[in-house]
Amino acid sequence: MQQLWAPWRLQYVTQEKPDGCIFCDKPLAGDDRATHIVRRGELAYVMLNTFPYNNGHLMVAPFAHTSELEGLSPDSLLELMQLAQQCIRAFKLVFSPDGLNLGFNLGAAAGAGVKDHLHLHLVPRWAGDTNFMPVLADVRVIPQSLDQTYDLLLEAFDRLEKEA
């Protein structure tokens, strides 16, 4: 029998669940590299998912603490979508995905892990990226560390900003 080692998952399994809201607390931490925040706007920001579904999994969240999409101001909603566009452009530069999944999980019944602060998931996908690991072992294989992914995406966002 072969073993798949994923030691970074132990932190998720054993960590104490925070009392606060990660989408409110992380932007205030002051260290974007440590919190994997790759881009900030005035009303919303982009960060890597610490426990990604696929390599490059990003989340765009408003700074405002709300669980309701209809509760966002028009300016917040616009910036959230503009950041999503930037994410897609960065994905195309860095990863050349064959497709993308974008989505909100609004409410616990919809699968929201953090139900009190809405956030948009962006997941790059490649033809044939589904394999036997999630089906047989409930394991996802992520081929790159979060820090490596952060560096690549940060460089892509900076390049896109210079070109704009």
- Residue spans of the domains in the chain: they are 19-163
Average pLDDT, the chain: 86
User: What per-residue confidence (pLDDT) applies to 15?
Assistant: 67
Query: What distance in Å separates the CA atoms of residue 132 and residue 97, rounded to the nearest whole number?
Result: 20
Can 57 be counted among the known catalytic residues? no
At residue 21, the 3 state secondary structure works out as coil
Q: Is 74 a residue whose pLDDT tops 90? A: yes
Condensed to tens digits (0 to 9), the pLDDT of residues 8-26 reads 566 655 767 668 899 999 9
Q: Is 140 a residue whose pLDDT tops 90? A: no
User: What per-residue confidence (pLDDT) applies to 21?
Assistant: 93
Task: Name the DSSP class of 162.
Answer: H
DSSP lists the bridge partners of residue 122 as 58, 102
- The residue with greater pLDDT, 29 or 114, is 29
* Sign of CA pseudo-dihedral 136, 49, 31, 91: positive
Residue 164's pLDDT band (cuts 50, 70, 90): confident
Q: Is 43 a residue whose pLDDT tops 90? A: yes
User: What per-residue confidence (pLDDT) applies to 61?
Assistant: 97
Asked if 56 contacts 91 with a C-beta cutoff of 8 angstroms, the reply is yes
Annotated catalytic residue, options 36, 117, 119, 121: 119
CATH fold of the domain at 19-163: HIT family, subunit A (3.30.428)
